[in-house]
Structure 1
Amino acid sequence: MPVQCDTRDYAKRLASAGVPMSQAEAHAAALGDLLGAAVVVRGELAALERNLSGEIQPLAQKVDTRGMPWNCHSLPE
C-alpha cells in the first residue's frame, strides 16, 4: 500500500523551520520519490513469499536430521 505524503505541505513546514524554500522543495520532492519507490505492495510480498518457499522446500527435504539430538518434526511450530 503506497504511503501518502503531501510534499507541498512538507516543503512549507521545512521552510517555516528556516530551510530555504528551494532546498525545502528539493527535499520534499526527494522524499516523495523515495516513499513512492520504497513501498512494497501486498502482491509483491506474496510473490516473494512463494519464491522463497519454492527455494526453501527442496533444501528442507535435503536436510538430514537423523543422528542429531532433535529433528525438525519435534520442534514447535
Structure 2
Amino acid sequence: MRISDSKLTTDQTLLALVADNTRAIAWLNSSDGAKGINRPKSLVEALIGEKKTIESAIETFETGQDFDDEWRRLTGGEK
C-alpha cells in the first residue's frame, strides 16, 4: 500500500492479525502459555518487517535549578 508504505494489502494484514490472535489464544490455553514461555512469533511482524525504533527527545533534570539553567541557555535569557 502506497500510503502507509507497506508491502501488504489491508486484507492480508487483517488475515495475518486473525491468525496471530488465534495462535495467541491457543498458546494462552496451553501449559506453555500458563507459564509464559515459548510465545508464538507474530506473523504480522514477520511480514511487515523489523519494528522501527523511535528515538526519544525527552530530557530529564535532577533539580529545578538544572531545568532553569537549561531553559535560560536555550532561550538566551531570563525566565
Query: Normalised by the size of structure 1, how large is the TM-score?
Result: 0.33
Considering Cα pairs closer than 8 Å and 6+ residues apart, tell me whether 1 or 2 has the greater RCO.
Answer: 1
Structure whose CA Rg is larger? 1
